[in-house]
Structures are given as structure tokens and as C-alpha cells.
Homo-oligomer: A and B are copies of this chain.
Amino acid sequence: MADSPYPKHAVRPLVGRFLATYWLETPLALKQAAALIAGEQSSGTFVSVPGETEELKNRFAARVESVRQEAIVRCPSLPGCCVQENRRPTRFHTGTVTISWPEENVGHNLAALISTVQGNLYEIAQVSGVKLLDLTLPDSMLQEFPGPKFGVIGSRKAVQVEDRPLIGTIIKPSVGLTPDVTAELVRTLIEAGVDFVKDDELMANPPHSPFEVRCQAIMRVVNEVADKTGRKIMYAANISDEWDAMRRHYDTLVSLGGTCAMLSINAVGPIAAKAICDFGQLVIHGHRNGFGMLHRHPALGIDFVAYQKLARLIGVDQLHVNGIDNKFWEPDDSVVRSIQACLAEQSGQRLLPVVSSGQWGGQAFETYRRTQTVDLLYMAGGGIMAHPRGPAQGVRAIQDAWSLAVAGYSLDQAAKKSQPLAEAIAKFGK
């Protein structure tokens, strides 16, 4: 390689390849469509150009690693699919393909990595469906993206809770409460027994509840209780904001003894979110609002498995996964897969799955049956505040539900063992 024209700036050999797996639907052979994507997303353009030498192609081209054929369908999932002009295809191959890229195409650059695995490829006319299913980085890249700093273990340690899910709640109503009223509500919730309180994603830094004022009011309560009981609950303050403001909020939170900041990952975006995570002083609660836009159609966007991999590269510690029997569109199977994806170890860390949406404790049984884990942050909003006998009984109902679920009881059996749970069932159950 003495004659290599490439400068020697790399401090380590960049020999690894990163892999992305896609679900595709295409009138072409799957392998051919995958090759098109590989070309578009590495050195190709629509005609050959000078400079595109064989050496360069060999070194930098993306490669199709594997193809797995599934069904053939008759109807395209996405519009605009076209292979030959004036010919409408009538048979579409579906299946998964894995494409790999040399890590030296992107270096240590999350934005370049994202543009490579989920850039223009969604525009390709020769596919009628494309969804990013998974993303695998070589160890050499993972060393540069160490991922969550706190994860499951760090989150548990901060609130001193072992062997059961962390019980959390969202401050509701989302918008409109003054800082003082909010702080009093947080006092009620802490006294009710929660481990974790968070701002709604719609509550950030509005003039009627400026971040600093609200954070001071709430952390005063959190710290007071901690001084009394020796246990500080986690307040995930929503720092999502413009860059300078977000940094200021982070510092405010640290200076007030906060332990956790919440980010709306999609609204903030990968790079600012990563820069915040990189500060490393606070557990980061990753809210996925807007994920439905990227995920709800089965033939387009990104699957949660790939999404949580990106969230790890960003460095979040806790990530929303929706919940069993949720009020949204998502089926339980998908929620279970998301929980499992978060709890898989990567670089020695696991993401804490944040279970939420219409939860009140009754779903503990099915959640535990299907995931066999208590490594969860189990969030209930209305399920706590609207319990017929008040928030303390709301928390108690959820705690009882979880301990009885783990002990092997069904919901019906558990209702006979716990009065607060029986009351929750009467109000929230079907």
C-alpha cells in the first residue's frame, strides 16, 4: 500500500463494516433492488463518471451481504414504483436484505451514518416498500459510540429500586399548570410513592411555566423529601428546546441536584440530542413522540429495533416503548418486541424500556407474562391521579399488580388480594 493515494489521518485502522437490514418490496429481484440501494448509498450515480475507478469501487462500495425472500404480492405498498416507463409492474417481491458499508465511508460521524442508512434510499423508484429493520456496527465503531452511560442499572441506582419496575408518572394536565401548582402536584405524587415523575412532552419552557422557575419549584420538593426520607425520586425535566436554552436547562437541572433530563428525540434531532447525552451528568429519558410518523406504515420508515439502536448511539438511557393494551394503534406483539430490543445488551448496556399509554396496573400481568422482566419504567398518568381513592392508592394498586403478577397471579386472582387494585379495575378495567 506504499503507493496509496489516501492520506493517513485515521488514528486506528478502519477495517470494519457496518450493516443495515431492510425489508423491501420491489418488482425487481430482491438482490437487484438491494444492489441499487447499495449503489445509491455509496459511490454510484445515474451514469458512470470519471474518477469512479475499480480500486475506488472495491474500497468504498456498499455490498449486499444477504437476501431472504418472502411472499410475492400483487399490490404496491407505496406509490411511484416504476422500473420501465409506461409499464406498471404487477408482481412485487418482498423480503429482507442486508447491506454493508466500510466504516471508513462515514468515520466517526453520526449524521453521516444516518444519511447513509436512511437517506435518499426511500426515494428509489424501483422499490414500493422499504423499511430499516436493524443496524449493526462493528466493535471498532461501537467504541466511538459507547451508548447509554446509565441504562437500566444507573436508572435503578439513582432511585434505589431493585427487583421491581420503577413506577413513574406524567404530570397532567400537560400544559397550563403554574410552576407552584406543578410542584405541589409533584409533592402529592412523591408522597403517593412514585419513583419517577416526568414533564409531559408538550411541557417544555413556555412563558406560563418557564423551565427554570418550574425546575426550581419541583426540585425544592424533590430535595425536601429526599432530605427527609433518604431517597431522591427521579424528576425527568423536559429540557427539549433550542440549543443554547437546552444547555442552560441542563446546567440548571444539575445545579439543583436533578438526576434526569427528558429529550423529545425526534423533535430535537439526533445531533443535538447526542451532544446533550455526551455531557454525561444526567440520566437521559428518551421520548419518542413523532415515532408513529416513521413507523406506523409497515412498508415505510424504520422499525423500533433499528430506532433503539440509533437511540443508543445518541446515548439515551431510557426509551419509550408504548405499553400492552395501550390507547394508541400499536399491537401488543410490537410492544413486546420493543421491550426485548431495549433489554438486549450492547456494549455492556441495556436501555430501560419506558412503558406508557393508558397504563393503570392491570396490564402488569400480560406485560410480565410476555416479557418475564421487571426491568421497566412503568408509567401511569391518569391511572395514578384518577384512582378512585387518590394517587397513593393508585400507586399502591400498580405496585400490588406488579408483585402479584411476578408471583404468578392472574388479574382476577390479584383483584381478590389487593383492595386498591380491585378499585382500579372497577374504574379503568373493561
* Cβ-defined contact, A385 with B50, below 8 A: yes
For chain A, residues 254 to 281, give those with C-beta under 8 angstroms from any C-beta of chain B: 264, 266-275
- A327 CB contacts on chain B under 8 angstroms: 46, 125
* Cβ-defined contact, A51 with B329, below 8 A: no
- A357 CB contacts on chain B under 8 angstroms: 123
- A14 CB contacts on chain B under 8 angstroms: 207
- A5 CB contacts on chain B under 8 angstroms: 178, 180-181
A397 CB → nearest B CB, Å: 14
A214 CB → nearest B CB, Å: 10
* Cβ-defined contact, B269 with A115, below 8 A: no
Interface size class of A (residues with CB under 8 A): 35 or more
- A59 CB contacts on chain B under 8 angstroms: 176
- A10 CB contacts on chain B under 8 angstroms: 207-208
Q: Check A274/B243 contact, CB under 8 A, given A173-B51, A206-B107, A269-B269.
A: yes
* Cβ-defined contact, A301 with B290, below 8 A: no
* Cβ-defined contact, B125 with A329, below 8 A: yes
Closest to A245 in B: B109
Q: Check A7/B213 contact, CB under 8 A, given A52-B172, A185-B51.
A: yes
Q: Does A358 contact B (CB under 8 A)?
A: yes
* Cβ-defined contact, A202 with B41, below 8 A: yes
A279 CB → nearest B CB, Å: 11
* Cβ-defined contact, A124 with B329, below 8 A: yes
Candidates B45, B174, B270, B290; contact of A122 at CB < 8 Å = B290
Distance of A6 Cα from B273 Cα, bound (Å): 31
* Cβ-defined contact, B298 with A43, below 8 A: no
Q: Does A82 contact B (CB under 8 A)?
A: yes
For chain A, residues 160 to 177, give those with C-beta under 8 angstroms from any C-beta of chain B: 170, 172-177
* Cβ-defined contact, A386 with B48, below 8 A: yes
A142 CB → nearest B CB, Å: 16
For chain A, residues 27 to 57, give those with C-beta under 8 angstroms from any C-beta of chain B: 41-52, 56-57
* Cβ-defined contact, A293 with B122, below 8 A: yes
Closest to A213 in B: B7
- A112 CB contacts on chain B under 8 angstroms: 202, 204-206, 240-241, 267
- A242 CB contacts on chain B under 8 angstroms: 108-111, 271, 274-275
- A48 CB contacts on chain B under 8 angstroms: 382, 386
* Cβ-defined contact, A125 with B172, below 8 A: no
Q: Does A133 contact B (CB under 8 A)?
A: no
Distance of A227 Cα from B385 Cα, bound (Å): 70
- A329 CB contacts on chain B under 8 angstroms: 78-82, 123-125
* Cβ-defined contact, B264 with A111, below 8 A: yes
Q: Does A377 contact B (CB under 8 A)?
A: no
Q: Does A60 contact B (CB under 8 A)?
A: yes
Q: Does A429 contact B (CB under 8 A)?
A: no
* Cβ-defined contact, B272 with A243, below 8 A: yes
- A286 CB contacts on chain B under 8 angstroms: none
Candidates B7, B110, B175; contact of A60 at CB < 8 Å = B175
* Cβ-defined contact, B245 with A205, below 8 A: no
- A185 CB contacts on chain B under 8 angstroms: 51
Q: Does A401 contact B (CB under 8 A)?
A: no
For chain A, residues 177 to 234, give those with C-beta under 8 angstroms from any C-beta of chain B: 177-181, 185, 201-202, 204-208, 210, 213
Distance of A329 Cα from B43 Cα, bound (Å): 20
* Besides the known contacts A108-B242, A111-B240, 6 further A-B residue pairs in the complex with CB atoms under 8 A apart: A9-B208, A43-B175, A45-B382, A47-B428, A48-B386, A111-B268
> Which 8 A-B residue pairs are closest in the complex by CB-CB distance?
A269-B269, A80-B329, A122-B292, A119-B289, A243-B275, A10-B207, A123-B328, A114-B267
Interface residues, chain A, with chain B CB atoms under 8 Å away: 5-7, 9-10, 14, 41-52, 56-57, 59-60, 77-82, 85, 104-112, 114-116, 118-125, 170, 172-181, 185, 201-202, 204-208, 210, 213, 240-246, 264, 266-275, 289-294, 296-302, 322, 327-331, 357-358, 381-382, 385-386, 428, 430
